[in-house]
């Protein structure tokens, strides 16, 4: 008998693993009838998880952490037993802003440092002329977008909230907001950067993978009480999603995956708009190199829920004043991610799984083979563009350092 599971998702390319699990029989093979419900806001996903309309959902990586720290309206404990890929976001700016950024000299697209310097020059000039601060859009306060944008700005010498105002907008409305001049730039998941470029609203200036290589973006959020009461179903689901991730990561499947995602019930965008994120040909300046690391649904342990990722998001929630730092809060954040469940389930079927729960983010300058429960596992590079290292064992020092 099939077990029915309802999952929410937002129309983004990184919902690919869930969609492939349903459409390519991976869920069915594990006895799961996966019902995917397209949502219009992360607030809906949060609320429907809380009232039990969803057992599981496509979720922003910081969402389970925010929920467990009591930063959401309802008491609802969530866990992330699996990540849904690495990377997949980009920063797009209006043509007008790009022109101003170029006045200080040409810069290499996709180079987060150079793009940051160029933007900092525009901001300094704006400050001198007492211009109104630039506005950038992100999709949600507790999102990878908000935290990587803020990290990039701050490390480039720009003060978020003072030099640049960050506003919240739903992903499908970003391109229009940019075209109409309502905002000057945005940080969003694909395909909404490519959509903006194709509409002529702006250009992609850097990517999430350039700001922080192999960085976390979406997770599978699961209600903790449901996970405890339905362990066999959860385990079956993780196996199905792992197989789906493997399928999504195969370059020979990218065209088929783009076609699948383009369906009106999923992303509702042409396959040609979705494909650049999958094959790394994401639109930058003409002649710029393709970036195969842009979105990783499978390679580099892309579905492993590193607790160092959870703690980094927590450090940024502290940095920008969403929560006060305490040992108890840090522990809540760390335990929101459950690599233990992932390891138990997937090592049983011979998948190479990292033997550590955390890693030092930024330690790997290139891809290397590391210790895994079986076979070899390739990780990294995983560095931040400014060369700073995040050691989860030195969380307090990291939080102190980012105050200045």
Partner 1 sequence: MAETLPSVLIIDENPTRASIIEAGLSAAGHTQVMVISEMSGIAAKIALHEPDVIVINLENPNRDMLENMFQLSRAVKRPIAMFVDRSDKEAMQSAIDAGVSAYVVDGLRQERVKSILDMAISRFNAFSRLERELEEARGALEQRKVVEQAKGLIMKSRGVDEDTAYKLLRKAAMNGNRKIVDVAESLVMSAGLLGNEGTE
Stretch 74-113 residues interacting with partner 1 (CB under 8 A): 74-75
How far is residue 207's CA from residue 69's CA, in Å, rounded to a whole number?
29
Bridge partner list, 8: 37, 57
Q: Is 213 a binder of partner 1 (CB under 8 A)?
A: no
Chosen residue from 170, 270, 292, 381 binding partner 1 by CB under 8 A: 170
Q: Which is nearer to partner 1, 42 or 226 (CB)?
A: 42
- What DSSP character marks residue 128? H
Candidate ranges 40-48, 151-159, 303-311, 329-337; the one touching partner 1 (CB under 8 A): 40-48
Q: Which of 227, 193, 228 is nearest to 13 (CA)?
A: 193
User: Could you tell me the smallest distance in angstroms from the CB atom of residue 221 to partner 1?
Assistant: 16
The 10 Å CB-count burial string (b at 16+, else e) for 13-25 is bbbbbbbbbbbbe
- Residues 156, 161, 164, CA angle at the centre, nearest 5°? 60
How far is residue 93's CA from residue 183's CA, in Å, rounded to a whole number?
9
Candidate ranges 71-79, 121-129, 286-294, 391-399; the one touching partner 1 (CB under 8 A): 71-79
For the packed helices 144-155 and 112-128, what is the interaxial angle rounded to 10 degrees?
70
User: Could you tell me the smallest distance in angstroms from the CB atom of residue 389 to partner 1?
Assistant: 31
Q: Which is nearer to partner 1, 47 or 246 (CB)?
A: 47
Chosen residue from 140, 223, 235, 254 binding partner 1 by CB under 8 A: 140
User: Could you tell me the smallest distance in angstroms from the CB atom of residue 350 to partner 1?
Assistant: 40
Return the beta strands (E) in 239-364 as ranges.
295-296
152 CB neighbour count, 10 Å cutoff:
26
Per the listing, tokens 């057992």 go with 55
How far is residue 128's CA from residue 380's CA, in Å, rounded to a whole number?
41
Q: Is 173 a binder of partner 1 (CB under 8 A)?
A: yes
Chosen residue from 33, 73, 290, 375 binding partner 1 by CB under 8 A: 73
User: Could you tell me the smallest distance in angstroms from the CB atom of residue 76 to partner 1?
Assistant: 9
Candidate ranges 16-24, 42-50, 83-91, 249-257; the one touching partner 1 (CB under 8 A): 42-50
User: Could you tell me the smallest distance in angstroms from the CB atom of residue 337 to partner 1?
Assistant: 23
Q: Which of 32, 22, 390 is nearest to 233 (CA)?
A: 32
Chosen residue from 1, 51, 128, 286 binding partner 1 by CB under 8 A: 51
CB 89 within 8 A of CB 148: yes
Q: Which is nearer to partner 1, 10 or 353 (CB)?
A: 10
Q: Which is nearer to partner 1, 76 or 80 (CB)?
A: 76
212 Cβ contact list (under 8 Å, min separation 6):
148, 151, 361, 382, 383, 384, 385
How far is residue 402's CA from residue 404's CA, in Å, rounded to a whole number?
5
Q: Is 346 a binder of partner 1 (CB under 8 A)?
A: no
Q: Is 189 a binder of partner 1 (CB under 8 A)?
A: no
How far is residue 227's CA from residue 233's CA, in Å, rounded to a whole number?
8
User: Could you tell me the smallest distance in angstroms from the CB atom of residue 66 to partner 1?
Assistant: 12
Q: Kind and range of the H or E element at 32?
A: strand 32-38
User: Could you tell me the smallest distance in angstroms from the CB atom of residue 44 to partner 1?
Assistant: 5
Q: Which is nearer to partner 1, 32 or 153 (CB)?
A: 153
Q: Which is nearer to partner 1, 30 or 224 (CB)?
A: 224
User: Could you tell me the smallest distance in angstroms from the CB atom of residue 256 to partner 1?
Assistant: 29
Bridge partner list, 79: 222
Candidate ranges 38-46, 257-265, 306-314, 361-369; the one touching partner 1 (CB under 8 A): 38-46
Chosen residue from 6, 53, 367, 388 binding partner 1 by CB under 8 A: 53
How far is residue 323's CA from residue 182's CA, in Å, rounded to a whole number?
30
400 CB neighbour count, 10 Å cutoff:
11
For the record, the structure tokens of 267 come out as: 């992303």
Q: Which is nearer to partner 1, 169 or 377 (CB)?
A: 169
Chosen residue from 16, 114, 139, 333 binding partner 1 by CB under 8 A: 139
How far is residue 341's CA from residue 231's CA, in Å, rounded to a whole number?
9
Give me the residues that bind partner 1 (CB under 8 A), please.
40-44, 47-48, 50-53, 73-75, 139-141, 167-170, 172-173
């Amino acid at each position: 008998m099939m077990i029915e599971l309802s999952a929410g998702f937002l129309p983004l390319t990184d919902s690919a693993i869930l969609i492939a699990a349903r459409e390519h029989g991976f869920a069915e093979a594990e006895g799961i009838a996966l019902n995917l419900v397209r949502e219009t806001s992360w607030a809906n996903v949060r609320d429907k998880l809380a009232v039990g309309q969803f057992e599981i959902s496509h979720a922003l990586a910081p969402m389970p952490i925010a929920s467990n720290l009591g930063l959401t309206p309802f008491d609802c404990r969530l866990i992330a037993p699996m990540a849904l890929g690495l990377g997949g976001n980009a920063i797009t700016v209006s043509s007008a802003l790009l022109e101003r950024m170029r006045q200080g000299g040409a810069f290499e697209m996709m180079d987060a440092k150079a793009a940051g310097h160029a933007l900092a020059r525009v901001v300094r000039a704006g400050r001198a002329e007492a211009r109104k601060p630039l506005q950038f859009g992100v999709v949600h306060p507790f999102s990878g977008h908000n935290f990587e944008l803020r990290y990039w700005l701050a490390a480039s010498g720009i003060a978020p909230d003072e030099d640049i105002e960050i506003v919240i907008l739903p992903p499908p409305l970003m391109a229009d907001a940019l075209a109409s001049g309502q905002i000057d730039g945005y940080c969003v998941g694909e395909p909404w950067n490519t959509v903006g470029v194709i509409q002529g609203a702006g250009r992609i200036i850097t990517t999430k993978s350039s700001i922080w290589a192999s960085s976390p973006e979406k997770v599978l959020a699961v209600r903790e009480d449901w996970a405890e009461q339905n362990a066999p179903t959860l385990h079956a689901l993780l196996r199905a999603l792992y197989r789906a991730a493997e399928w999504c990561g195969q370059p020979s499947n990218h065209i088929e995956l783009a076609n699948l995602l383009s369906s009106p019930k999923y992303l509702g965008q042409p396959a040609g708009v979705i494909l650049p994120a999958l094959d790394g040909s994401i639109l930058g300046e003409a002649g710029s190199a393709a970036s195969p690391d842009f979105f990783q649904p499978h390679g580099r342990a892309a579905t492993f829920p590193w607790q160092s990722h959870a703690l980094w998001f927590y450090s940024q929630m502290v940095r920008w004043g969403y929560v006060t730092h305490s040992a108890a809060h840090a522990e809540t954040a760390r335990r929101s991610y459950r690599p233990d469940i992932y390891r138990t389930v997937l090592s049983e079927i011979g998948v190479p799984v990292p033997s550590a729960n955390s890693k030092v983010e930024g330690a790997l300058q290139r891809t290397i083979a590391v210790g895994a429960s079986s076979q070899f596992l390739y990780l990294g590079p995983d560095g931040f563009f400014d060369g700073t290292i995040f050691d989860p064992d030195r969380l307090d020092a990291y939080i102190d350092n980012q105050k200045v």
